[in-house]
Amino acid sequence: MNHRLALALACLLLFVQGVVLIETRWVEDESWNTDESVTWMREGRLCMSSFDADLASVVDVRPPLMPIGMGTTFRLFGIGIAQARMFSLAAGIGTVIVVWFLALSLWSPLAASLSVIAAATDLFIVVASRTARPEIHCAFFCSFALLLFYKARGKESFPLALLCGLCLGITLNFHPNGVGFVAALGVLLLIEFRARVFLEKRSWALVAGIVASVAPFAIWICSAPVNLKAFREVYLGRLAVPLMEKLAGEGPRYADFLGFGNRKVPLIGAFPLRLHLAIILVAAFVLLYRKNRKLATALAVVVLVNLLWWANGVNKVSRYFAVIAPMFSGDRGHRAGAIVHPGQTRATSSRAAVFDAVLVHQPKIRLVHQRRGLLRMARVLAAHVAVGDPVQLPLGKRQELLQGRTVAFTPGDKESSHPVLGEMIQIKTLLCGRTPPARRSGE
């Protein structure tokens, strides 16, 4: 399979679904967002002229990037329904591309190809991509932030962590749903570093990126008394709603997710039309957990923290599932890859598990494994890692070696003489049945 071709076809598929009958199913939220976007384009003010008796007609303190982005689209291409939705469709295609890179970095090219097909046909992503609302923009920047989060962890990169924070801050400038992802990545950092989380550069890079993105909006809110008044009315008033009342309203959200509500075709009785998709998601997660508990736990944290954040809100709509739908697409794509080509996915998963379990310490190199663990590792390597196959070796942060840096190498190449990695490469090479290179004197 040409995996880049699969990505192109997935983008084309989502584009076709977005542009066909693009002027149908116009909803109230789109009218309000369009109103504010046109006002910003013409007058440079963030307000909604439709609400004369409301403070929103003077100033709208909701996150500003949606009206600014749509207003810019109107300025470039004119005012119309297609132009209003063009901004969201571009974010939807961007989300599919990010899903491809995320699945590629976590699993394999086959899993990436199947994941983008799942994303391009996901109902929530498709509907959000052809609707002038901010959910798909949150999905794009949250997925991109998650990709940068894993890249930053693998390379122990401060700049990538900073970019991750910037993406999270941009999400907050589209919709408060971004708070869920900020909290989720914070929990992942806490799981990784525990009590040392506040001493880590990556944690502070994440915070710095978020603050830098949100600061202009916060300064604007505080720049005028009317802005502060509107902010209190919009957000602080929602805190007065009792928590139990908020939780009681969660039923319709999950009913819509399962397909009980919003049915256009009358049927006899109530039947969950999307129940099979929910079962597939749960089954895919269970299989992922059996193969890679660490990654499955991270996925569960991202999903559950977002669901808890939504439960605390007052807007009980199912369209928010578009924000975490890319995670579901990656999960389904990974498990579908295991069914279509079990050897490829199993090799990738086993390789990640093996080299996660190997711990190297300075100044003396040693393996903290019992003999039984080494024999098990030997069997897995012999079964799934070919001689000369490039391998990424993540060095554990808790062991305080190179602070989680990721090193790529090929058995028997010039890096075999590295004073820290040489022993590890020789062990890996021996287990694969290849004679290790001679060690240099003094190593």
Quote helix, strand, coil % in the chain, to nearest 5: 70, 0, 30
- Whether 242 and 333 share a structural domain: yes
Q: What is the pLDDT of residue 265?
A: 57
Instruction: Report, as ranges of residue numbers, the positions in the chain whose pLDDT lies below 70.
Output: 1, 261-270, 337-443
- Spatial separation of the C-alpha atoms in residues 72 and 75, rounded to whole Å: 5
**Closest C-alpha among 427, 390, 422, 420 to residue 408:** 390
Domain count, the chain: 2
In a shared domain, residues 313 and 394 = no
DSSP-derived letter for residue 82 is: H
SS (H, E, C) 302-314: HHHHHHHHHHCCC
Residues 6 or more apart whose CB falls under 8 angstroms from that of 128 comprise 88, 92, 135, 136, 139, 319, 322
pLDDT at site 268: 57
Q: pLDDT at position 28, please?
A: 86
Q: Which long-range contacts (CB under 8 A, 24 or more apart) does 219-226 make?
A: 220/64, 221/61, 224/59, 226/55, 226/58, 226/59
Domain boundary residue, one of 340, 365, 397: 340
Q: Are residues 166 and 252 in the same domain?
A: yes
Q: What is the pLDDT of residues 272-293, one digit of tens each?
A: 888 888 898 888 888 888 888 8
294 and 392 in one domain? Answer: no
Q: What pLDDT score does 387 carry?
A: 45
Question: Does the global pTM surpass 0.85?
Answer: no
* Last residue in a domain, options 322, 340, 358: 340
Domain membership of residue 441 (yes or no) is: no
Question: Who's near 367: CB < 8 A, 6+ residues apart?
Answer: 358, 359, 360, 374, 427
Q: Which residues have C-beta within 8 Å of that of residue 376, sequence separation ≥ 6? A: none
Instruction: Say whether both 123 and 32 belong to one domain.
Output: yes
Q: 84 and 153 share a domain?
A: yes
**Do residues 134 and 220 share a domain?**
yes
Query: Cα torsion for 299, 302, 308, 312, to the nearest 10°?
Result: -160
Residue 442 lies in a domain: no
Phi, psi of 110 (to 5 degrees): -65, -45
Asked if the structure places residue 395 within a domain, the reply is yes
- Report which residue type is found at 336: A
Are residue 323 and residue 357 in the same domain, yes or no?
Answer: no
pLDDT of residue 269: 60
Range of the domain at 407: 343-431
CB 31 within 8 A of CB 50: yes
